Each structure stands twice: as C-alpha cells, then as structure tokens.
Amino acid sequence: MDFWRHIYEHFNPIAFSLGPFKVHWYGIMYVLALLTALYAAKWYVKKDRYPVDEPTLESFFLYVEIGVILGARLGYILFYDPHTVYYLTHPWEIFNPFHGGTFTGISGMSYHGAVIGFLIGTWLFVRKSKTSFWMWMDLVALSVPAGYVFGRIGNFLNQELIGRATDVPWGIWVGHTLRHPSQLYEALLEGVAIALFLFWYRKRQRFEGELIALYAILYGTARFIVEFWRAPDIQLGFVCCGWMSMGQLLSLPMIAVGVAAYVWLKRRGKAVTFRS
C-alpha cells in the first residue's frame, strides 16, 4: 500500500524517447483506446449481425476519430483554457506540438468537445455513405466505453486530472497532498460499468437509438458523480453554485439530451431488425 501511495515518485510518464520526440504513456493509452473501441465494434458487428462490412466500419472510425481529435482540442480551448482569446486570434497555435523550439506534444483535451466532434464526423459519414445514423450511434455506445477505460488510465499515468484531497487508505501522493485516484474511478464507473451494462442490455434493446440515449444518460450521470472526487480544473475552480465543476455543468445538458432523445426515439419506435 505504501508503494501505491507513492506511485508517482517511482513512475515516469514518458515511456521512451525517439531522438527529440518523447512518447508518453498517455499517448500509448490513447492508441490502445482507439484500437480497443475499433475491435470491440468489429466484434459487435459480427456477433450481432450489424449490416456493415469491415471497410465501411473502418472508414466510419476514420471520420469519427478526426472529429474526436478536433472536437476534443477545440472543446478544451473553448470550455477550459484560460487563454481562449489568444488561441482564437492565433488559431495555428491550437494544434502546434512545438513550444520554444521543443516538441512537447498537444495537451488539453475535452471529452464533451470530443462528443460534439464525434457527432459532426458521424453526420458527415452518414451523408456520404447513406447509412443509418442511429445504427452507428448504437454501435458506438457499445464499443466506446471499453476503449474509454484506457483513456482514463492514460490520464492517471500522465499525472493529470487529479483527485481531491483525501485520507482514504488507497489515496496517492500528488506532490505533498494525498489525493483520490479519481482517474481510475472514472475508468471503472464511466468505462467498465457502462460497458458491462450495455453489453448485457443490448439483447433487450427495443428501438433504434436506445443504446446511445442510455449511454448519454449513464455517462453524464457517472461523470457528474465522479467529479465529487476529482479536483476542479485549477484555472477555473468551481464554476456554479460554489460547488459545481465545469465537468458537472457540461454533464447536465448531456443527461438532458439523452433523456429527450430516449423519449423521442421510443415514440418514433423504429425496431432493430438485424440483431439475432
């Protein structure tokens, strides 16, 4: 337990270097997250008989991955970064991986921004491929949570998005403060728990789009809860009511949209016909 509490003192967030380029464990976890989501989607396509061939699935993932990266970065700039005005007047700096002549990579990503980018990427792909928007949404609801686990583990290994101060036995030292490993709470609640629930529920799905509506509700709720153990962004602090973080504030409309979509899609009542 003592080693666990001092894990950051024994762990280097940089996995290895290739000349001037430093490869962080976070980057490796991001790649693993993408591959896990892709192979989970391939498994569900085969297992549940989605009317999608492999080249189409891979093309879809390319569209949404571009949307996710752009949306996550732009969302961070708009929602979290205190230098928003600077970036808006110097847009070429948003994706600049070099600072002071040194390669540092791009840091600062927003999950809620990634969702917006993902939706735009999906909409563009659906227009091009003439496929069902809600079919893709349900497939994503099933495959993304498993990959999301690696994303939050990456945050933990990168020593970012730290938890609030605590005295629980499993707390970890961040600097001189014992804190909740809130990134791992998020991996379990927003990733593992949602992935297992939707895996079980999918055979009980009653209408097209139900799974993505449930995912929005479940993720928004889980994120809102976990934020009570996650330290608010240092540049923002609490943004509402003296206790609500930006993550919680952004989760509320996500829950509301999920509930509204669920009600509308249920009334629409388009049955899922391909699943065995």
In order, the DSSP letters of 226-258 are HTTTBPPPTTT---BTTTB-HHHHHHHHHHHHH
**Secondary structure (3-state) at 217:** helix
**DSSP one-letter string for 37-73:** HHHHHHHHHHHTT-S--HHHHHHHHHHHHHHHHHHHH
Question: What mean pLDDT is reported for the chain?
Answer: 88
In a domain, 191, yes or no: yes
Q: How many domains does the chain have?
A: 1
pLDDT value at 27 more than 90? no
Q: Note down the domain range covering 26.
A: 2-52+131-268
81: pLDDT confidence band, cut at 50, 70 and 90?
Answer: low
Nearest Cα to Cα of residue 202 among 190, 255, 194: 194
pLDDT value, residue 113: 84
In a domain, 168, yes or no: yes
pLDDT value at 8 more than 70? yes
Query: In the chain, pLDDT over 90 holds for what percent of residues?
Result: 63
In a domain, 144, yes or no: yes
In a domain, 136, yes or no: yes
206-235: burial string, b at 16+ Cβ within 10 Å, e else: ebbbbbbbbbbbbbbbbbbebbebbbbbee
Mean pLDDT in residue range 252-263: 96
> Cα torsion at 142, 33, 252, 178 (round to 10°)?
130
Q: From CA 201, how far away is CA 138, in angstroms rounded?
A: 12
Q: Are strands 177-179 and 98-99 parallel, antiparallel or unpaired?
A: unpaired
11: pLDDT confidence band, cut at 50, 70 and 90?
Answer: confident
pLDDT value at 276 more than 60? no
In a domain, 171, yes or no: yes
**Secondary structure (3-state) at 271:** coil
In a domain, 142, yes or no: yes
Q: Between 104 and 239, name the one with better pLDDT.
A: 239
In a domain, 121, yes or no: no
Q: From CA 44, how far away is CA 37, in angstroms rounded?
A: 10
166-to-76, 110, 181, 182, 223 alpha-carbon distances in Å: 27, 25, 10, 11, 19
Q: From CA 40, how far away is CA 184, in angstroms rounded?
A: 21
> Cα torsion at 122, 189, 176, 110 (round to 10°)?
10
In a domain, 95, yes or no: no
Q: For residue 16, what are the β-bridge partners?
A: 23
Please say whether the dihedral angle defined by the alpha carbons of residues 111, 200, 209 and 245, taken in this order, is positive or negative: negative
pLDDT value, residue 212: 97
